[in-house]
Amino acid sequence: MLAVDRTLVSGVRDAAGRVDLHRFVQLAIELEHSTVPPYLTAYYTLRPGTNEGIAAAVRGVAVEEMLHLTIAANLLVALGGRPRIAAPGFVPDYPTVLPMNVGHSVVVGLAPYSRELVRDVFMRIEEPELPLHLPGGSADRAADPEFATIGEFYAALRDKLTELGDAAFVGDPTRQVVDRDWFPPDQLFPIRDVATAVTALELVAEEGEGTSSSPLDREGEPAHYYRFAELVHGRRLVTDPSVPQGFSYTGAAVPFDPDGVWPMPPDPRLETHPPGSRSRFVAERFTDCYTRLLQALQLTFDGARAGLRPALGLMFELRLLAQDALATPDADGRPTGLCFRYCPALRTTQGHAPVLGGPAVTPAER
């Protein structure tokens, strides 16, 4: 369970008006985003053509986290604020404790996919306040009264918005970011008032944690926590009338082929690759693309007419560049890691003194 600093919850409760909420909603944007690089790293390190069931599951969760980021950003815009995305410090310096997280902290890094990663990190990020005991499932941890939960944080936000009423929604309604091609209108819709804000925040909580009575979200999909549990157990979650909970991890197998994972060194850094090396080059291209993605999102929430489209195009380029990097061996023969950083002034090392000789590096599977 992601323990949240209780002062954040009390801060939301004590907010005197919409402007007081801006920094908390910005924190929510940062929290939702902070899970994207770890999930995408796990997804990208699954070699194309292998582990397809797992890849689809991890990708699906990552996409929903991007949806949640969008929802939180829409809420901030609706409250008259400006999301700060293309900004120093927006991308955490992994490994890190996630934004808002205190106490029983979960240290989150960028690592290749493994069952241990899912069990020890991803499931802890997504763990509900009171996980349902499902046959084959993990034991829950007792909630610590010293700390709040992310669920409580969002609940406090919903309560405060209800208290402030529709008058708090002063943002320009035309600036709300929606895109029906990518997110159905029941998941991504304009936030214009208390009702739409509450619905949106409930969706964020449910997709992550499920509801208190069901592991499924409102679309009937397992919430993130239970989807990750499927990967740990290697079985799909299915309805199971033979057990009192009504669900068990006894569905179709979700096979895992460890050979289908790029063994990327965890928490990679650009600086570890020698200037002029191929690995430095491909790592920089990835970082550059991620930076462009954040800048595209910034323009989107600043009102650019193209909406989410530029960012979507960049997601595809990012995936190609991720495969380029991972297929390029570093100086130690390991896959070049994926450096999720915000570097708007990336000064490439290839520029003025190209290496004319240097070690022979042959991309294994470009």
Partner 1 sequence: MSALHLPRLVFSGDFQADVSTVNNDVRHYDTATFEPRFQQPASGATRNGWWNPSGSGAFRLIGCAVRSVASRRPASPGDEDPVATCSVSGSSSSVSGKLVDLDPQWQMASEIWGLTIRLADARGGTVLEGTFEPAPFRDIHFGRQSPATPNGQAASAVYTSRLTAVRSHLPPGRSPFLDDLLAASDDGTLAVRLTTFGYSTNPRDPRFTLGRVVGALGPARRGEPHRFVLGRRLAPAANGVTAANLTFADAVVDPEAGLVSLDLGNALPITDPVGTTAAIGPLALAVLRTPDRPDGAPGVREGDVVPLGDLLVLGRIDHSSPGWLSRTAGIVDLALDEPAAALAADRPLALVRPVGNEAQVLLRETAGGLLARADDVVLRVDARSDGAVAATVRFCAARWGRPLTAATIRTRLEPRMSGLGGGPRDDPDPPAAPIPDIGVPQEAVELPPSLATDDDGRAELPLTVHDPGRPRGYLDGQVYVIAYSLDGQAREQQHRFDVVVLHVREAYAAPALPTWVDDVRPVLVQYGDLYPIMSRRLVDLGDYDAVREHAAIIDLAFSRPLDDPNHMPVTRELSDARREMLLTWLRDRNGYGERRLRHGPRPSAAAPAAPAPRAASDSAAAPPDDGRGAGDVDEIGGKAVALPQALEQLLRAAGRDD
Residue numbers of the site for partner 1 (CB under 8 A)? 47-49, 181-182, 276-278, 281, 285, 291-292, 295-296, 298-299, 309-310, 312-314, 316-317, 319-320, 323, 343-352, 354-366
Residue 295 CB, shortest distance to partner 1, in Å, is: 4
Q: What is the spatial distance between Cα 366 and Cα 321, in angstroms, rounded to a whole number?
A: 10
Give kind and range of the element (H or E) at residue 42: helix 36-44
* Residue 3, strand partner residues: 149
Packed helices 52-78 and 224-233: angle between N→C axes, nearest 10 degrees: 160
Question: Smaller CB distance to partner 1: residue 266 or 359?
Answer: 359
Question: Smaller CB distance to partner 1: residue 89 or 358?
Answer: 358
Pairing of strands 3-4, 148-149: antiparallel
Question: Smaller CB distance to partner 1: residue 64 or 206?
Answer: 64
Residue 247 CB, shortest distance to partner 1, in Å, is: 26
Question: Smaller CB distance to partner 1: residue 154 or 340?
Answer: 340
Give the ranges where 142-193 is alpha helix by DSSP (H): 150-164
Residue 348 CB, shortest distance to partner 1, in Å, is: 4
Residue 59 CB, shortest distance to partner 1, in Å, is: 11
Q: What is the spatial distance between Cα 59 and Cα 25, in angstroms, rounded to a whole number?
A: 25
Q: What is the spatial distance between Cα 236 and Cα 229, in angstroms, rounded to a whole number?
A: 9
- Alpha carbon 238 to chain centroid, angstroms: 25
Region of residue 358 (phi > 0: left; psi between -120 and 50: alpha; otherwise: beta): left
Residue 92 CB, shortest distance to partner 1, in Å, is: 20
Q: What is the spatial distance between Cα 88 and Cα 86, in angstroms, rounded to a whole number?
A: 7
Question: Smaller CB distance to partner 1: residue 197 or 321?
Answer: 321
Question: Smaller CB distance to partner 1: residue 158 or 341?
Answer: 341
Residue 360 CB, shortest distance to partner 1, in Å, is: 4
